[in-house]
Amino acid sequence: MKAQLSVVEDSENMQVSAIVPIADRHDDIEMVTREYLNMLSRSGRTFELIFVLDGMHPAVAATLETLEISHPSIKIIMLNQYYGEAACIREGVKRSNGEIVLLLPPYLQVVSDSIITLMARLETADVATAVRDRTEDQFLNRMRGWAFEKMARIAGSHFADPGCSVRAIKRRVFDEMVLQDEQHRFLPLFAERLGFKVQEVLLPQAESDKRRRQHSVDTYLGRMLDLISISFLLRFLQKPFRFFGSVGAGTIFIGTLIGLYITAERFLVGIPMGDRPMLLLSVLMIVLGIQIAAVGLIAEIVIFTRSKGTPTYHIDHIVEKSTGA
């Protein structure tokens, strides 16, 4: 992955790095940029505003380059092709300097000034995720958000608005968490599983976000597949044999029951076994169960040999008595 970087300014005292990944959907970039710049200026913290363009967006790039002339706090990172929003976030975090990483969408989901409240919540949390106050939102938008919230429970999420991309995160969270493709939408869930403190903050919804939104069938299908994969990763990543072994054992058990049933019919009723499809089904079920369990065992071996003791936990703080004289 190659990235073209514009306006790189290192600052040892940078407090906030706001990262805006631009993939497919975006509002008027000039309007969004000015909203975020005004909010960051009013926050009273030193900041940088980083835009990461996923692939070629010539019109967006031209607008940002014009704004960058009068706003040196803007950085522009342009990826050479389409890699996805998660790649944009990773690259933005890598090239940022702030102790607080602010993830913002290229469209307004909440009232921009309320994001200052979100950052303030990091005094007592490691991750602060926004929840839109959708009392005035359109009915279809609320129903879509409610459905996604319920679907997210498949992955173990208990957050009220997983579709909101506005988040404030301490840098040390990214130091211990590897963000894989398409997992950025569930970043608070991954952070919580690592032991970080995650808090939700109710913020007023932006007026532009109350318009009716349309999504393709591919988008919904992709979200569902993401939820299934994330659910598997969170529950069985360290112990895959528990999943594959359970499925394999169940398959072997069903095959064995079928085999016992036709065997009992053979000796008790005298029904021949050799020409019965159930005999073939029984053998196939047992063999399939063994193969499924073997996949889980191989996965366990791979994790054991590749993990090298990588911790899957987070240390909050250590209290110890000083041994100095």
Q: What is the pLDDT of residues 184-234, one digit of tens each?
A: 888 888 888 888 999 999 999 998 888 876 666 676 677 777 777 777 777
Check whether residue 87 and residue 212 sit in a common domain: yes
Average pLDDT of the residues in 2-13: 51
Check whether residue 180 and residue 277 sit in a common domain: no
User: pLDDT tens digits for 114-159?
Assistant: 999 999 999 999 999 999 998 888 888 888 888 888 877 777 778 8
Domain that holds residue 273: 240-304
- The reply to whether 274 falls in a domain is yes
- Amino acid 258: pLDDT: 92
* First CA to last CA distance, the chain: 53
Question: Do you know the residue count of the chain?
Answer: 325
Cα 75 to the center of its chain, rounded Å: 24
- The reply to whether 311 falls in a domain is no
CA distances from 244 to 236, 250, 303, 306 (A): 9, 10, 14, 19
Q: How many domains does the chain have?
A: 2
Check whether residue 37 and residue 50 sit in a common domain: yes
CA dihedral defined by 56, 59, 61, 63, rounded to 10 degrees? -170
**Farthest CA pair distance, the chain:** 92
SS3 309: coil
- The reply to whether 324 falls in a domain is no
Check whether residue 173 and residue 201 sit in a common domain: yes
Check whether residue 191 and residue 55 sit in a common domain: yes
Check whether residue 135 and residue 249 sit in a common domain: no
Check whether residue 63 and residue 128 sit in a common domain: yes
- Amino acid 189: pLDDT: 86
Give the domain-ending residue among 218, 235, 252.
235
Give the domain-ending residue among 177, 207, 235.
235
Check whether residue 218 and residue 268 sit in a common domain: no
Check whether residue 45 and residue 170 sit in a common domain: yes
- The reply to whether 279 falls in a domain is yes
- What CATH number is associated with residue 68? 3.90.550.10
CA–CA separation, 81 and 93 (whole Å) = 19
- The reply to whether 316 falls in a domain is no
Residue 6: which pLDDT band, with cuts at 50, 70 and 90?
A: very low
Give the domain-ending residue among 217, 235, 253.
235
Check whether residue 122 and residue 100 sit in a common domain: yes
Check whether residue 66 and residue 209 sit in a common domain: yes
Q: What's the predicted TM-score (pTM) here?
A: 0.75
